[in-house]
Amino acid sequence: MHLASCVWQEKAAGVGMGVGGGRGGECGGGWRRRKVSVKSVASAAGCALNCLVSLVVFSVLDVVDMVLCVVYKVVDYAVEAEWKACYCTAAGARAAHKDVVVGVGVGAPRILGPKVVRLLPPPSPSSSPACCRKMQLEDVSDTLYVRASLLADATKSKPGPGAPALTFSPAVAEMIRGKMDRPPRQAPCWSDCDCKVCHSWSAAPGSASLLYVHVQAPPPAAPTATEDVVFIHGFISSSVFWTETVFPAFSAAARARYRMFAVDLLGFGRSPKPAESLYTLREHVEMIERSVLQRYRLRSFHVVAHSLGSVLALALAVKYPDAVKSLTLLAPPYFPVPESEAGAATQYVMRRVAPRRVWPPIAFGASMACWYEHVSRTICLTICRHHRTWDRLFRIFTRNRVRTFLIEAFMCHTHNAAWHTLHNIICGSAGRMDAYLDVVAAQLSCKVALFHGRDDELLPVECTLAAGARVPRARVTVYDRKDHITIVVGQEELFAAELEAIWRSAAAE
Q: What is the mean pLDDT of residues 73-86?
A: 88
Q: Provide the pLDDT for residue 84.
A: 82
3-state secondary structure of 498: helix
Q: Provide the pLDDT for residue 17.
A: 36
Q: Report whether pLDDT(302) > 50.
A: yes
Catalytic residue among 54, 142, 192, 233: 233
Instruction: Supply the CATH classification number for the domain 196-508.
Output: 3.40.50.1820
What does the buried/exposed string (b/e) look like for 245-270 if buried means 16 or more CB atoms within 10 Å of the residue's CB? bbbebbeeebbebbbbbbbbbbbbbb
415 is catalytic: no
Q: Between residues 155 and 359, which one has the greater pLDDT?
A: 359
How far is residue 170 from each of residues 55, 85, 88, 105, measured CA to CA in Å?
A: 32, 13, 14, 19
What CA–CA distance (Å, rounded) separates 157 from 159? 7
Residue percentage of the chain with pLDDT more than 90: 56
What CA–CA distance (Å, rounded) separates 485 from 331? 10
Residue-wise pLDDT tens digits, 443-457: 999 999 999 999 999
Catalytic residue among 62, 65, 264, 456: 456
Catalytic residue among 191, 307, 310, 376: 307
What CA–CA distance (Å, rounded) separates 274 from 356? 30
3-state secondary structure of 280: coil
Task: List 139's β-bridge partners, or say none.
Answer: 115
Residue-wise pLDDT tens digits, 182-239: 555 556 789 999 888 888 787 666 677 899 999 999 988 766 778 999 999 999 999 9
307 is catalytic: yes
Distance linking the first and last C-alpha atoms of the chain: 32
Residues 487, 12: contact at Cβ < 8 Å? Answer: no
Strands 227-232 and 135-139: unpaired
Catalytic residue among 199, 413, 423, 484: 484
Q: What is the mean pLDDT of residues 401-414?
A: 83
Element (H, E) at 503: helix 492-508
Q: Is 41 exposed, middle or buried (0-12, 13-18, 19+ CB in 10 A)?
A: exposed
Beta strands per DSSP E along 247-387: 258-263, 301-306, 324-330
Task: List 476's β-bridge partners, or say none.
Answer: 450
Q: What is the mean pLDDT of residues 428-457?
A: 95
Q: Report whether pLDDT(104) > 60.
A: no
| pTM (global) more than 0.75 | yes
Q: Provide the pLDDT for residue 467.
A: 98
Q: Report whether pLDDT(345) > 80.
A: yes
23: confidence class by pLDDT, cuts 50, 70, 90: very low
3-state secondary structure of 426: helix
Which residues in the chain are classed under CATH 3.40.50.1820? 196-508
2 is catalytic: no
Residues 500, 508: contact at Cβ < 8 Å? Answer: no
420 is catalytic: no
How far is residue 129 from each of residues 120, 134, 135, 185, 208, measured CA to CA in Å?
A: 10, 11, 14, 17, 20
